[in-house]
Structure 1
């Protein structure tokens, strides 16, 4: 019996072990906690609606891809077999790399100008042409071996199909609420656009030139080819990719590369919300995917450029119209991410003490009260006490013997006052005000 057949028995095994060790109540508490974390104070219907809205665009693209085989051949345009090799030769020449780099200068300047920190990392985009040239050389000027075949399969044949699901969970856990849905729309829209380009402007992949002589005129009855993935099938003694690519509904869909577009889309989100390590992951993952597509002879370098440009265009639109609002709402409402709720942590913005005046922080280092935010008014030095959205408390949350959150006495006790300040900042509403020590 294979390990895959044992996977459905895993929940049963967990329950049996919990019962044997007397941990059934703890297991039930854990399951209820995970259920509350997923819902995030939403009803089941609203949670399901959000999930469906995020997966709808990728599902529409997938179904459209499957239905493409039903298009009549007389509706389809002529297949191009020589255009992409010529464009790649021009792009990767010395003059092509130089001109491409110069053409990216305005984009690099725009990215740096739009950056909140004016980071010089925006100039890394100028290395894209040279980076593409290096990956092309490494992929095509090498001797095939089992290690590279398996490594290319991991990127091209495995991670490409698993990455949207993994990215959806990562976005739910580490990004602001709503970012996972935005990722689904960005991925679905760009891939659907790429599919339309495949159907309206069909181009042959490198494997076609490896299989057929230049005199052969292709038509839509030609089967697809797994190309370099055939070597992976030989290593593991299977025919999975050989049969899958032979039955592909879109055989001549080289430009743009949706492998490159998907990897770039994922990398944009990880780099935006993953910090420095997210940027490192994005560079490594895109490098591996771009190398594998050319090593497997599934795409030309020009296909990768087109896929990257397509993904960048849609991400720019999503970031401008959707992600900016999501980020602003996340900061304003101090909402929690999935990972915060799972481990009962406060929002990343729950301790935004940078909004306090510097001299106030210097006078009282303990001004930060749990679940409170102090913000400076523009008119004077009065401080407004704003109650934050409380962190999610579940049966797994630690219970303190004494609750430290007492707005009526917390700030005033630090200043030594017991009358005026405490009465003005009582539990009369969501916000109150108190004056600094000098004004009192």
Structure 2
């Protein structure tokens, strides 16, 4: 539905004198009648004053200056302005605002939705003062999600003068993005805990924002490989490793005083390391984690497998498998390239631990349904796949050593299941022997060509 503005001029009084006393809708002093009519012909009349309209609207000022001021059915004294039916209230409000001072106009804005509608009308009728005031309001006030969607939809259609409204949603330059990202990483990797839980909440929020920026923002993905950004992440990773090792070193003494607090401290450090593993691949830095984890693996296992903790530290022991799984995945699928001896050493360090702990966790879970640390099926499958891939990428003699040890421990054949790796190894061994035989025959019967 559309409406038409029909403006009919009446020469009732001197315009300069009217400007001092005129009020919107005052028929006794009006020299302009505004008629809105729909396509069905139902009119709504508004009595206005040409002096006001000419002062506040270039659109009407131009029209009035070009047309006679005496109404006549035969004359062309009308302006038709088309607008959607849903915009009627906004155009009426615009007429009312024309009668207010600039300060009063600024105080009249009461909602984003209404102001956006008036802005459309104001730009269409070239009401510069009202347009400026409306833009200032919309640029300054908060928007909810629906309002922001509507603004992003409407404002670009209103021309360049409305674009300041979108300042808050414009892309920032690369340096600003990098600065924000570095600050977020610094906060996400902080070890300061002076004001818990406030500090913890800030840290968690920063970690979530770093993840979002890396996973959802294409521009940030490019910044993530910047050397300054990688330096900050590497520094944070180093602090996390140091904090984790410190917690392990203090564990024996702290465990005697407060087992739960001691375990929670180490567990938090592990959780931080697990989190940073989720962002390092996007920054092409997973090798930093794998190398650091490999360096401390012997110390970690020596502590947690101490007889003192044989019936405890289940949360830490289970979390160690999850974190180690990240490293196994990176190594096994070639995302982190290490020399074969390093890969063999890493696997031989952690494979016995995983073999031993998995059935223990399953047994605890079977005995106590409330036991929360059972390895879920996805984690088991991912680790098993990574180990299989890792084994198959080793030199054949190293494969044979690992598979031989695996088969000798019949009670541990259940997990991880390396039967696929064994089958591939057997096939490769037979193929290698055939190639060797063919090679010897070729030497005994050389082909001579002239």
Please classify the TM superposition score into its range, dividing by the shorter chain length. under 0.3
Q: TM-score, normalised by structure 2?
A: 0.23
What TM-score comes out, normalization by structure 1 length?
0.23
Normalized per residue, which structure has more helix? 2
